[in-house]
Amino acid sequence: MNMHSKTDLRELSYAEAIREAMDIAMARDERVILMGEDIGVYGGAFGVTGDLVEKYGTDRVMDTPISELGGAGVAVGAAMTGLRPIFEFQFSDFATLGMEQIVNQAAKIRYMLGGAVSVPVVMRFPSGSGTGAAAQHSQSLEAWTAHVPGLKVVQPSTPEDAKGLLLAALEDPDPVMIYEHKILYKMKGHVPDGYYTTPIGKAAVVREGKDLTIVATSIMVHKALDAAETMAAEGIDAEVIDLRTIRPMDRDTVLASVRKTGRLICIYEAVKTLGVGAEVSAMVAESDAFDYLDAPIIRLGGAECPIPYNPELEKAVVPQVPDILEAARNLAKGRV
Amino acid sequence: MRDTVMPNNIPYAISRYSAEELKDALKKMYLIRKFEEGAEDSYMRGLIHGTMHLSIGQEASAVGSCMSLTDDDKITSTHRGHGHCVAKGADLSRMFAEFFGKESGYCKGRGGSMHIADPSKGNLGANGIVGGGLPIAVGAALSAKRLGTGAVTICFFGDGANNEGAFHEALNMAKVWNLPVVFVCENNKYGMSTSTERSTAVKNISDRAVAYAMPGVTVDGNDFSAVTEAVDAAVERARKGEGPSLVENVTYRWRGHSKSDRNRYRTKEEIADWQSRDPIVAMAKLLVDHKISTEDEVAEIEADATRIIEEAIAFATEGDNPKIEEVTRDVYTKGAAA
Ligand SMILES: Cc1ncc(C[n+]2csc(CCOP(=O)(O)OP(=O)(O)O)c2C)c(N)n1
Ligand SMILES: [Mg+2]
C-alpha cells in the first residue's frame, strides 16, 4: 500500500520511476536481474534502464541477443528456479515473438503441474502509438495477454503507480505483465521515496463525479481527466476511474461508480472491438449495476486498422479529448 | 552483361558488367547516400515525425547484391532498407513521399520509412520486425519454384537478425526444399548497441551455413566487386536449381542505429576508421582505374544523383496528405472492417 504522505512533492518521470523501482528491488534482493535488448550500455530503447548497468554490472543487467522467444523463455526458466527476472521487450510489438513462452509456458506451468511450482517473472511492454513508428511499433496488445488465465496484466498511468506496480509485481508469485505507454515515459509526477507497492487488481478513482463514469486505461486516463475539466465547465460532473489492472479487473470499483452515475464511457487506445471495453461493458451488463444505467454504454477505442505512419492519420485512429467530450455530451443529454 | 570468364587481375565486376551497368551502379550508390542525407536533414529540420535507420556506409552491399537481379526477381528487406529499395530500382520521389507520409508515397503514407516496398519491381518490402523477412523470402522462393518462374529471391538481413529463431527456421526450410533464395547478411558489427561478439556464438555469420548444409561465404561488404562476385555466384546457383546460399557482407553503419543513438557502445576511432573505407569512394576509384569513367564523369554522376534527390524532396513536399476518412482503406482486400 502507498503509505506516504502527499506532502512529499518529489517529482520523477514515469521512466525514472520505473528505473527507481528496479534499482530498489535490485538493491534489496540479489535474485532480481534485468534482461532485454540494449538495456545495458545503451540504457534501453526508451532510456528506462538508464545507467543501472554501471551500478549492477552486466551479470545482473543482461543484454540479450535479438531473441525474444528465447529471451522470454530464459526468464521463465530462471523465475521457476530461484531468480526474479524482469524481462524488457524493446517494444510490446516484439512480444508477439515471445508469445509462446508467455501464453503456453509462463501462464500455465503452475496449473499444469498441479501447483508444484510458481513462475514469478515480470515482463515489461513499452506500448502504444504517438511516436510515428507505424504499424509494427505502435500497437496496444494488452488484451492478448489479459485473455490468458495465469497471467496478471497491469497498465500504470502515472509515475507513482509505475513504480508501485513494478514493486508489487516483483512481490507477486505469478507472472505479471506490465504495459507501459511510451508517450508517458517523459511524463512527470509525484513519486514517493523508498519502497512501496501499488496493489495489483485495484482500480483508482482519480476524479470523483456524479453525472457519468469514465473508465480509462493508461494514457487515456490523462485524456479523460482533461476532458473532465472541460465538461465541468459545461456542468457535467464526470467520475474518472483509472483501471490500472486489467486482469484481474476491479469489479467493485467500476460497478459502484456506475450505480452512482448511471452512465458509462469506457476508453482505451487498443482497437475498440474485443478488448478491455467489451469486458468492462459485459461486467456491468451482467450485474445489478445494469439496472442503474440511464443510457447505453459507450466504448471509445482505436480504429479497426493498424496504426498508420502519417501523423494526422496516426492521431485520428486513437481516441482524443474531443472524442471523449462528444461522447460525454451525448451521454449527458437530458440529464445535466 | 559481359561474359563471366575473368581475365587475370581484372576485378570480377569489371569483367562481368558493361560500362553502362557499372556507371548505373555507382549512380545508385550516390542516390542511396544522398537519399539518406536528405532524410537525415529533413528529420533534423523537424519535417519528419517518427524514426529512421540510415544505411550510409553500406551502399556497396545493397547495390552489389542486386546486380544480377531482374525486375522479376524478389528481395525482402529490413528496417535499414532505403538502400535495398534504391538498388532494386525504386523511384526516389515516391520513396521520399512515403518518408514524408504522403498519399503519393509508395505506401500511400501508411507505412513510412520502415515499410517502403515496391512489389512492381520485386521489392516485397522493408520490415519493422528484425528477422521478419527471412521466412517471407523462403515463401517467395517456394512460389518461384512451384510456379516455375525462374525468379530468385535475395533476403537481406542484419547480423542481429541471425539470433532470431526465424533465421534458423528459414534457412533450414530453404535447404530442405532446395529453394532459389540467397540469404544476404549485412554484418555491420552491431545490432543496435550489441556487438556480434556479445550476441553471437559463432565468429562469422556465414559459419551458420554449415548447420543448414548450404554454401556460406564472408566478403568485404564495402568492396563492390567482392560483393557482386559472391552474390552473383549464389544467385546463379539458385537459378540453376542448386538451392540456397548464405553470403555475409561485412560492412559498417556510419550513423547511429536510429535517431536516438548516443553511440556509447563504440569508439570514435572505430567509426573514423570505417569512414576512411568509404564504399562509394572505392567504387568511383574502381571505375576510374579501369577506365570505365573519367573523374569528370564521376562528378557528373554524383551531380545527377544530387539533382534527382532535390526533385524527389520537392515532389514529396508538394504531395497531399492521405485523407483521414480513408484511414481504414486497405485493411482488407474487399470491403471495410467489421
Ligand atoms: C523482433 C524485433 N526485435 C527487436 C527490434 C528492435 N530493433 C530494430 S533494429 C534492431 C537491431 C537490428 O540489428 P541488425 O539485424 O544487425 O540490423 P542493423 O540495424 O544493424 O542494420 C533492433 C534490436 C525489432 N524491430 N524487431
Ligand atoms: Mg547490424
Atom 8 (ligand 1) nearest CA: B130
| Per-residue pLDDT tens digits of chain B, which is 338 residues long | 455 555 568 999 999 999 999 999 999 999 999 999 999 999 999 999 888 999 999 999 999 999 999 999 999 999 999 999 999 999 999 999 999 999 999 999 999 999 999 999 999 999 999 999 999 999 999 999 999 999 999 999 999 999 999 999 999 999 999 999 999 999 999 999 999 999 999 999 999 999 999 999 999 999 999 999 999 999 999 999 999 999 999 999 999 999 889 999 999 999 999 999 999 999 999 999 999 999 999 999 999 999 999 999 999 999 999 999 999 999 999 875 44
Question: pLDDT (tens digit, 9 = 90+) per residue, B291-311?
Answer: 999 999 999 999 999 999 999
C-alpha A137 – ligand 1 centre gap (Å): 12
Cα–Cα dist B169/B165, whole Å: 6
| A58: nearest CA partner in chain B | B198
Calculate the alpha carbon distances from B183 to A148, A300, B208, B218, B248 in Å: 37, 45, 11, 12, 8
| B263: nearest CA partner in chain A | A42
Minimum distance, in Å, between the CA of residue A222 and any CA atom of chain B: 22
Give the residue-averaged pLDDT of A249-267: 98
In chain B, how many H helices and how many E strands? 12, 7
The widest CA-to-CA distance across chain A, in whole angstroms, is: 63
Burial of residue A82 (CB within 10 Å: 0-12, 13-18, 19+) is exposed
Q: Which residues contact A108 (CB under 8 A, 6 or more apart)?
A: A150
Cα–Cα dist B62/B83, whole Å: 6
Cα–Cα dist A158/A173, whole Å: 24
Give the residue-averaged pLDDT of A189-208: 98
The widest CA-to-CA distance across chain B, in whole angstroms, is: 66
pLDDT of residue B334: 85
Cα–Cα dist B331/B119, whole Å: 18
Closest to B152 in 3D by CA, of B243, B16, B247: B243
Q: Got the DSSP string for A273-296?
A: TTSHHHHHHHHHHTSGGGGG-SS-
C-alpha B250 – ligand 2 centre gap (Å): 10
C-alpha B160 – ligand 1 centre gap (Å): 6
Cα–Cα dist B178/B172, whole Å: 10
B131 touches chain A (CB under 8 A): yes
Please determine, for residue A67, whether its predicted confidence score (pLDDT) is greater than 80: yes
Calculate the alpha carbon distances from B249 to A51, B24, B227, B255 in Å: 33, 21, 7, 18
Question: pLDDT (tens digit, 9 = 90+) per residue, A101-113?
Answer: 999 999 999 999 9
Q: Which domains does chain A have, with CATH numbers?
A: 10-190 (3.40.50.970), 204-332 (3.40.50.920)
pLDDT of residue B338: 47
User: How is residue A98 written as a grid cell?
Assistant: 515471445
Give the residue-averaged pLDDT of A179-196: 98
pLDDT of residue A6: 53
Contact call for A133 and B128, based on CB within 8 A: yes
B332 touches chain A (CB under 8 A): no
A66 in Cβ contact with B199 (< 8 Å): yes
Calculate the alpha carbon distances from B19 to B2, B61, B291, B294 in Å: 10, 19, 9, 12
Contact call for B164 and A94, based on CB within 8 A: no
Q: Which domains does chain B have, with CATH numbers?
A: 18-319 (3.40.50.970)
Contact call for B115 and A134, based on CB within 8 A: yes
C-alpha B234 – ligand 1 centre gap (Å): 25
Pocket of ligand 1 (CB under 6 A): A 37, 66, 68, 90, 94, 97; B 53, 79-80, 128-130, 158-161, 188, 190-192, 257
Question: pLDDT (tens digit, 9 = 90+) per residue, A118-154?
Answer: 999 999 999 999 999 999 999 999 999 999 999 999 9
User: How is residue B250 written as a grid cell?
Assistant: 561485412
Contact call for A67 and B165, based on CB within 8 A: yes
B39 in Cβ contact with B82 (< 8 Å): yes
pLDDT of residue A153: 99
The alpha carbon torsion through B295, B300, B305, B311 (nearest 10 deg) reads 160
Q: What's the one-letter identity of residue B30?
A: Y
Length of chain A: 336
pLDDT of residue B259: 85
Contact call for B193 and A273, based on CB within 8 A: no
Confidence of residue A279 (pLDDT cuts 50, 70, 90): very high
Q: Which ligand is nearest to the CA of B158?
A: 1
Start-to-end CA distance of chain B, whole Å, equals 52
Residues of chain A in contact with residue B261, where contact means CB-CB under 8 angstroms, are 42
Give the residue-averaged pLDDT of A52-56: 98
Please determine, for residue A222, whether its predicted confidence score (pLDDT) is greater than 90: yes
Q: Which residues surround ligand 2, an ion (CB under 5 A)?
A: B 158-160, 188, 191
Give the residue-averaged pLDDT of A249-262: 98
Give the residue-averaged pLDDT of A304-316: 98
Cα–Cα dist B281/B278, whole Å: 5
pLDDT of residue A16: 98
Confidence of residue A1 (pLDDT cuts 50, 70, 90): very low
In the sheet that holds A84-88, the strands lie side by side as A61-63, A32-36, A84-88, A122-127, A176-181, A152-154, A245-247
Cα–Cα dist A168/B108, whole Å: 45
C-alpha B198 – ligand 2 centre gap (Å): 12
Contact call for A137 and B114, based on CB within 8 A: yes
Pairing mode of beta strands B153-158, B74-76? parallel
A161 in Cβ contact with A244 (< 8 Å): yes
| Catalytically active residues of A, by annotation | 68, 137
Cα–Cα dist B222/B83, whole Å: 14
Question: pLDDT (tens digit, 9 = 90+) per residue, A81-105?
Answer: 999 999 999 999 999 999 999 999 9
Say which residue, A55 or A2, is predicted with more confidence: A55
Residues 275-314 of chain A with CB under 8 A from chain B are: 303-306, 308-313
Confidence of residue A9 (pLDDT cuts 50, 70, 90): confident
How many beta carbons lie within 10 A of that of residue A96, not counting itself? 16
Atom 12 (ligand 1) nearest CA: B191
Minimum distance, in Å, between the CA of residue A334 and any CA atom of chain B: 31
